[in-house]
Structure formats: C-alpha cells, structure tokens
Structure 1
Amino acid sequence: MVNFGKIKLISRSFTTLSSAPLRICVVGSGPAGFYTAEKILKAHEGVEVDIIDRLPTPFGLVRSGVAPDHPETKIVTNQFSRVAQNDRCSFFGNVYLGSSISLPELREMYNAVVLAYGSESDRSLGIPGEELAGVHAAREFVWWYNGHPDCRNLSPDLKNTDTAVILGQGNVALDIARILLRPTEELAKTDIASHALAALEESSIRKVYLVGRRGPVQAACTAKELREVLGIKNLAVHIQQADLVTKPADEIEMKNNRIRRRVYELLSKAVPPGHTPVLGQRELHFVFFRKPDKFLESDDRSGHLGGVRLEKTVLKGDDELVNQVAVGTGVYEDISCGLALKSIGYKSVAIDDLPFDNYKGIVPNVGGRVVTDSLQDHMQIETGLYVCGWLKRGPTGIIATNLYCAEETLACISDDINKGLLTSNSPKPGREGLLQLLDSRNTKVVSLDAWKKIDTEEIRLGHIKNKPREKLTTWEDLLKVASE
C-alpha cells in the first residue's frame, strides 16, 4: 500500500477503568462529523475518535457546497482543523464505507460508530423529460463549480442557450442563480474551480428563472441570500405584481415567522413601481405559483432540453388557514430554455446493513440512536450505532444547525457510556485494525498530513492566480499530491 503521509498511531496510558481507550469512528468529515468528533473529545477524556471520509479531502459541504463567493462561511474549517490535530483524533480520507470497508467490519473494530456522511444523491421530480441533456440536479452543478472530483466532467452547456430555469427557491437555488448571473471578474477572485470559471466566462446565459410552487411568503430562502442576489450589478429583477398580493393565510404565516416576513418585504421592494429594465441587462425572474409538469425536448436538438412546462397552482390550507400547500389548476405555460437545474432537495444514500427510510431519505433514529425495528408496540435500538447531520434529520438547516444536532447525538453517546452500554472492557482494535484491513485491500489512505500537502499545494496555486486557493479537481491529482 502507498502510505499517504504520516499516520498517527498513538500509544499512551488512560486514566479510565480499563487500560484500553474507548474507540469511536465518525463516518463523514463535514460539519456534522467534525462537530460530533469535537464534542466527543471534549466530553470524554479517555476516548479516541477516528474520522473517515470517502474523499481525500475533509470538510464535506463546507468545501463542496458553500458558494465560492461566501468565504466567511468557510472560516469554520479552521475550527475543524484544530479538532483533526487533537492527539486523540485521526483523519483517514479516501476510505469509502461500503466498498473500502463494510459497516459490520467497522462496528467490529470500534466501540461505537457515528454515521454523518450527509446526502450525496438527489430527489427526483418523477416527471417526463427528466433524462434530457441539459437537465441537472442542483447538487451536481454546485459540486461542478466547487471543484468536487465526482463532478469535474459535468460540463453543463452554458453556450447554446440564453435562458436557465432553476426549480426551487431555497438558498441553494439562489446560490446557483448568483453564480450564473454575477460578473465573472468578481468570481475570479474566489476559490471557484477554474473549469467552471472558464465556462462561465463564455456563458450565453442572460436570463435566469427561479420557479416556486408557492408564493413569495413561502419562499424557502433566507433574507441574507436574497439580498445578495438582488444586489448583483447590472441586473434586472422581474416579479409579477399580482404574485405579491397576500391573503389572510399569508399574513398569519408572516406574523408567526419573522424570516418569511423579511423575505416577502425584500421581494416586494425588488421591483420599484414604474421601473424599466435597461437594454442588455441580465435578468432574474422570480416565478411563483408554478410547479414543473414536464421537461420539453428541443425541436432542433434531439435528446436535449428545449423548455419546461409549468402548471399554475393555488394555495389551499386547513381550517386555520395554515399549512398551505400548492395545488395544480390544470392551466399550463412553457418557458423555453436549454438549461434546467432541479433544486428540490438532496437525498442520503442507503448502504448495506443499515436501516433506511427511503421515503424520508434518512436513517430511522431516536435522538441520534439508530432504530432497527420501529413497529408501534416495539422499538429496537441498535447499541453503539448513531447518526448525525442530514443522514439523521434530512437535508435541512445551515452549517450551525449541525452543531445542535451533534449535541443531541453526543447526549445519547454519553448516556450509553454512563449506563455501561459502551465500554472498553473488551478492547477494540480501532485505527490499528482499520489500517491493517485497508492495507490488506491496497486502499490508499489519505492521512491528515497528506491532506495538508493537498491544502498547501492548492493555496500555492491559488496565490499564482490571486485566488484564496486553486482546487485540485480530479481524483488523480488529489491522490498524486497526497502521496508526494
């Protein structure tokens, strides 16, 4: 096996009831994984924590999901790096749960396993034409411009159309709209992947439609994200004034939710009365009360997207006029476009030997403890197996949400330790056993030291281009630098 950097194998005495430490493995090195590791290390002095990730790089969504023009959000990686450098913590990248090692094997090596590998798939709309070229999941597009090695070759066609339709109005949808519409000279100063910047510099996209099933009161974005996209230079914003008319149910929603009121107020002021767009401006259209019905094939290019058919909707609520849902009216309209991005939610991936709720896209759990049998009269908890983050609660919240999620999972772990359900009386091989098994399978483990080589090289390359970093975007380049 090629050893990628110096692996920490630490031997020391512990002031615990047994001579061996309690060993816990966290699967996933995004915010949920690192917050969980940090809290375990702080709460339990005699515990060793190993973090494994299928990528050669740590930080998950912070590296691959946060928009390149949001550097302030990425500062949290400094905190995560300090966790990884703790003497009782080790990072092992390029270790894929399910192929490099199975869940039963991992559980055999550790006293407890915390699954925090997030959501690496996408929800499907289940409508005709979803397979057409030009239709992409938002996750793929975000990974593409953020330099994720799995989407390096996505190559979305930005040159053969002037219109993009984004289905969804959450923060991810607004991020994508901003990347498509923002001047590339501004993006050039960020850590955006070079292949994405080059494509955006040649992009013909001039109009972006943000489509939502419900109204402006129910838009899923935050005020901060909305202000950013509305503040793009030389941008004409379009909103139908009729869509801004509120009903009693909307007023109730805004009264009960300050964020929704703020978003609605920003949208209401986005297009001043009598405003006339300037010729040549890029355009951002907010389209409310529409749901996708089908993707239309291009008349000119077989197998390629030519447009999106939308069905008009109305909102219907319960007797208290809340919980408004969008209901189709049977009236349709088409938007011509060559690029459509589905920003309708990420989805976690099931693995062998793990209970999984396919409908909710999560692992069944109670407060973070994995549940293997959840019949009404019986609930079986899987001792020593926990979840945190999107795998636990679904793809919701911001990065900081994972902090509170990790605290809840830690409370379960601590409770099980105190009850004697997790004990080191029967020593587990932990990282030593993990490395031996991976070595026998010729897995090229990327250690923390090896990641530092990647980090150093990316920063060096970025300095040449006056960027914070120039990301290595292929598996080959990442593993090559890690092994040097």
Structure 2
Amino acid sequence: MTRKLRVGIVGAGPAGVYAADILTKSDAPEGFDGVAVDILDRDPTPFGLIRYGVAPDHPRIKEIIKALKRVMANPDIRFFGNVNFGADVKLEELQQFYDAVVFATGARRDRDLQMPGIDLEGSFGAADFVYWYDGHPDAPREWDFQPHAESIAVLGVGNVGLDVARILAKTADELLVTEIPDNVYEGLKNNAAKDVHVFARRGPAQVKFTPMELRELSHSPTIDVIVHPEGFEFDEGSMDAIRAAKSQKLVVDVLQNYLAKEPSGAPHRIHIHFCQNPVEVLGEDGKVVGLRTEITELDGTGNVRGTGEFKDWPVQAVYRAIGYYSDNLPGLPFDANAGVVPNDGGHVIDIDGSPIPGVYATGWIKRGPVGLIGHTKSDAAETIGMLVADAPTLAQAEQPEPAAFDRYLDGRGIEYTTWEGWEKLDAHELDLGANDTHARERKKVVARDEMVRISRS
C-alpha cells in the first residue's frame, strides 16, 4: 500500500514555506501517493523575517504574508510553532517521522565585526535592534537609547542599514500607526537622535540599497536626507556596474537627486557618506563617543584602497548592519567562515564531502544572507528538485503516520502551536489594532507565553 512522502521542514519563513509549496505541487515521486509536509519553527508564529525582520513602516513588503498564507492553508501542510530544533527535537528524532528533512532556518543574528571598540556601551548589532522594534518574543522589552545620543553612526549600505537609519530618525508618533507594540512606542520616545550618519566604504555605484527603500527615506516630513559630495565619485568599474543593472542606475539617480536637493530644515537628518571605511569605534569611560574612518578612493575596478587619511566623527552610538549570520544547527556540519550548512546546492554535505542521506537545505542557511525574497523561490526549487529525485531511494521513516509526531510533542510536554492557533493569534492582533485609539491594521502581541496561550486557547 502506497503512502505519502513525509517531509519535515525546519523553519517557517519564506524559504520553508516556498519549499513546502513546491513539494506539495510536485508530481508524486515513484512509490508514493503524494507529499505531506510538516513545518517546524522555534517561534510560535510562522513567516520568519517577514514578521520579525521587515520594518513596521513597510507594510507593502509584509503583503507577501498573504501569499504565504495561501500556501499554508493547504491541508497537506501542517505548522508546528514554538518547537525549538536542537532542544525540543533533534535530527535523529525527526528522521523517525519523516522520509526527508529540509533545513530552512535562515540567518537571524548579526555577523561579527572585528574592530577596536566594537564592544563599547552604545555599540549595537542591527539584527538585535530589528528584533526589538519588530516585537520578537526573545528580544528585550527595552532598548538602551542613550539620552545624550543625538548623533548616531550606521555601518553598512544595505536595506537593513536603511531601515535602521530610518527608524532611528523618525519620531515615535510617526510609527504609532504601524503594528509596533506598546513597549516599542514607549522606547522610541526615549530616542534622542537628530543626525544619523550612514557610512559606505565604497562609492555610490556599489551600495546595496534597492531604489524603493532609498526613495522612502524622504517620505517622512521630519527627515532631511543629505548625501555628502565627498567620495561621490565613479570609476570605470562603477560605470560598468551602472550599465549592467537597471536597479543600480536607479539607485544612483536617487542619490544624485538627494545630492542636489537643499535641506528643508527638518528636525532630523539622515546623512549618507561615501568612501569612508570605519576602522575604530572611539570610547571614553567604556561608552561610545565617536567613530574613526579611513578615507578611501576608487581604484578603477569599483573597489577601493585606503588613503592613509583618517577622520573622526563625534557620534554617541554605533549600529553595525553588515549582514546576518546563521546559527550552527546541532547535529549538522557548519561552515563557520561562510555561515552556512555545507551543501551541493541542496543536499547537506558531511565533513568527508559526501551527502547526508535525506537531509537538505534551502534559503539563507544554504547560500548565505544574500538576495531578495524572490530569489528564495528559485533556491527552493533547486533543493526540492533534488529531494524529489532522491525520494524513491530514501530510507523510509519508522513512524510516517502524521499523528505520530503530534504524540511525540505531547509526550515531551511541548506547548506547540498550529496553523489554526496562528489564525486565532492573527485575528486577536487584528482586533487589537482595530480597537486601538489610532485604528491600526494590527497590533503585535510580544510575549511568547501570551502568544502560545492565545494560539492554544
């Protein structure tokens, strides 16, 4: 008697959901009557960085959740939230219930930056700040806004750096119409920032902003965007980059518009500096008091070289937004330099270079934190193509019936959440927003135990 291929996916962000969608839409592998997928996540909620990594004043990007919801409504896909891989369940235990396991755990923490002074009080990782203002249950409830920190440095010229700069420059009241929880609003009222300086090591043609994110900086009436002319230069490598990508040309066009625009006198300013390589966070009495940069120059290829000339910037806080880094997953090999699980494009590779049977990776844990959400679909398709091709030869699970995994979690006393539980929490948050004084679309619940209680009610 044939049965469905049983696949467990660890990680309920876009990478995991897209993988489940492709799996359940694939032709049934030889010897199986379709595919059934369980998605596990350590958060009580699905959607990963769409819920906890996208800035609250970017509702358009959060619209992706609508498409992910349609996928998750598939009866062949189940969700188990508040299940922590490595603590609540290990790989060898998952293999009892699933013919194959796909890891889609993404990248959730800040990449380390080796720089003198980076550990001073007032030096922060962007990921930690993002999790705080997005109301992640494991983030602290308060943020250490220094009352004297009127000038702040942001290191990194990707979209996360722009998000951090924009949130720091906006007033708390401007964000009160978004889904931010009460503790974030109260915290933002303590933010004294007036000038936020964004530093780029290279020139304007090498930044990683998207045009929309860059344009949105000027949408706040309380913010002036000031692009400084120093380092605003192009070499042949820069021109090649502009000619090769329409989006890069659009970014440069927006930057040139900001460069030519006179400041309006708004109370907050976002400054963008080019060809400034941060080399040291300056401190006094253990606290940030400045940032030292080395002035760089383009070398003809789009890269830069140091000039040996340094500049000190009086800032009272530093936020590094130089990239995310994946967690080392218990029981799996890990490439610490790249911050990924070693793989051949889908199969997880053991330390001897051979694929681990029935174990796969997709998303940022597979290729690193690069690319936009759309890239995750093609990435998942590659991994799932390998899995489906392997399916007839995979060692079959000892307990493939769906209820077996439920019994395992119940027996461990794990208070897991389900898709039906998410729908309850979703409705609760929408109701909180609708009944708020400011009539918001949603108001997030932050505490993990409260989310679990509402979901399991």
Bin of the TM-score, shorter chain as denominator length: over 0.9
**Cα deviations across residues 152-204 of structure 1 (Å, max 9, x unaligned)?**
33513153211111100111111111222234443211112322222223421
Give the direction of change, closer, same or farther, for the CA distance of 1:253–1:81 in structure 2 (3 Å limit): closer
> Where do 1:364-403 residues align within 5 Å?
364-373=342-351, 379-403=353-377
State the alpha-carbon separation in 2 of the partners of residues 156 and 69 from structure 1: 21
The aligned residue for residue 4 of structure 1 is none
> Where do 1:280-429 residues align within 5 Å?
281-298=267-284, 302-316=285-299, 321-322=300-301, 324-373=302-351, 379-417=353-391, 420-422=392-394, 424=396, 428-429=399-400
State the alpha-carbon separation in 1 of the partners of residues 265 and 24 from structure 2: 58
State the alpha-carbon separation in 2 of the partners of residues 175 and 431 from structure 1: 41
Q: Which residue of the other structure, out of 180, 184, 194, is the alignment partner of 1:196?
A: 184
State the alpha-carbon separation in 1 of the partners of residues 182 and 105 from structure 2: 27
The structural deviation recorded for 1:246 is 1.9
**Cα deviations across residues 5-43 of structure 1 (Å, max 9, x unaligned)?**
xxxxxxxxxxxxx43321100100000000000110111
The aligned residue for residue 441 of structure 2 is 468
Corresponding position: 1:96 with 2:84: yes
The structural deviation recorded for 1:278 is 4.5
The structural deviation recorded for 1:126 is 1.1
State the alpha-carbon separation in 1 of the partners of residues 315 and 182 from structure 2: 25
Give the direction of change, closer, same or farther, for the CA distance of 1:383–1:314 in structure 2 (3 Å limit): same
Q: Are 1:158 and 1:200, in contact at CA under 8 Å, matched by a contact in 2? A: no
The structural deviation recorded for 1:80 is 1.9
The aligned residue for residue 160 of structure 1 is 148
The aligned residue for residue 31 of structure 2 is none
Q: TM-score, length-normalised on structure 2?
A: 0.93
Greater shift, 264-273 or 215-224, is seen at 264-273
State the alpha-carbon separation in 2 of the partners of residues 154 and 135 from structure 1: 16
State the alpha-carbon separation in 2 of the partners of residues 334 and 141 from structure 1: 25
The aligned residue for residue 14 of structure 1 is none
Corresponding position: 1:180 with 2:174: no
Q: Which amino acid aligns with 2:122?
A: G
State the alpha-carbon separation in 2 of the partners of residues 269 and 129 from structure 1: 35
Q: TM-score, length-normalised on structure 1?
A: 0.88
State the alpha-carbon separation in 2 of the partners of residues 403 and 439 from structure 1: 33
Corresponding position: 1:37 with 2:23: no
Q: Are 1:289 and 1:313, in contact at CA under 8 Å, matched by a contact in 2? A: yes
Give the direction of change, closer, same or farther, for the CA distance of 1:30–1:430 in structure 2 (3 Å limit): farther
The aligned residue for residue 196 of structure 2 is 208
The aligned residue for residue 443 of structure 1 is 414
State the alpha-carbon separation in 1 of the partners of residues 269 and 347 from structure 2: 48
SS for the counterpart of 1:151 is: coil
State the alpha-carbon separation in 2 of the partners of residues 198 and 430 from structure 1: 48
Name the Cα RMSD after superposition: 1.9
> Where do 1:23-102 residues align within 5 Å?
23-44=6-27, 46-102=34-90
Q: Which amino acid aligns with 1:408?
A: E
**Count of residues paired in the alignment:** 450
Q: Which residue of the other structure, out of 223, 226, 232, is the alignment partner of 2:214?
A: 226
Q: Are 1:28 and 1:51, in contact at CA under 8 Å, matched by a contact in 2? A: yes
State the alpha-carbon separation in 2 of the partners of residues 263 and 189 from structure 1: 28
Unaligned runs of 5+ in 1: 1-17
Structure ranking higher on relative contact order (CA contacts 8 Å, 6+ apart): 1
Give the direction of change, closer, same or farther, for the CA distance of 1:278–1:265 in structure 2 (3 Å limit): closer
State the alpha-carbon separation in 2 of the partners of residues 93 and 240 from structure 1: 46
The aligned residue for residue 5 of structure 1 is none
The aligned residue for residue 271 of structure 1 is 259
Q: Are 2:203 and 2:233, in contact at CA under 8 Å, matched by a contact in 1? A: no
The structural deviation recorded for 1:280 is 5.3
The structural deviation recorded for 1:370 is 1.1
Greater shift, 336-345 or 148-157, is seen at 148-157
The structural deviation recorded for 1:234 is 4.0
Q: Are 2:217 and 2:225, in contact at CA under 8 Å, matched by a contact in 1? A: no
Unaligned runs of 5+ in 2: 29-33
**Cα deviations across residues 273-331 of structure 1 (Å, max 9, x unaligned)?**
7x3x3545311111111222122223xxx332222221222233xxxx53x33333332
The structural deviation recorded for 1:226 is 0.6
State the alpha-carbon separation in 2 of the partners of residues 82 and 154 from structure 1: 35
The aligned residue for residue 478 of structure 1 is 451
Give the direction of change, closer, same or farther, for the CA distance of 1:236–1:81 in structure 2 (3 Å limit): closer
**Cα deviations across residues 450-484 of structure 1 (Å, max 9, x unaligned)?**
22222121111111221111111112221222232
Q: Which amino acid aligns with 1:85?
A: A
SS for the counterpart of 2:341 is: coil
> Where do 1:105-124 residues align within 5 Å?
105-124=93-112
The structural deviation recorded for 1:44 is 4.0
SS for the counterpart of 1:366 is: coil
State the alpha-carbon separation in 1 of the partners of residues 48 and 161 from structure 2: 19
Give the direction of change, closer, same or farther, for the CA distance of 1:19–1:248 in structure 2 (3 Å limit): closer
Q: Are 1:146 and 1:192, in contact at CA under 8 Å, matched by a contact in 2? A: yes
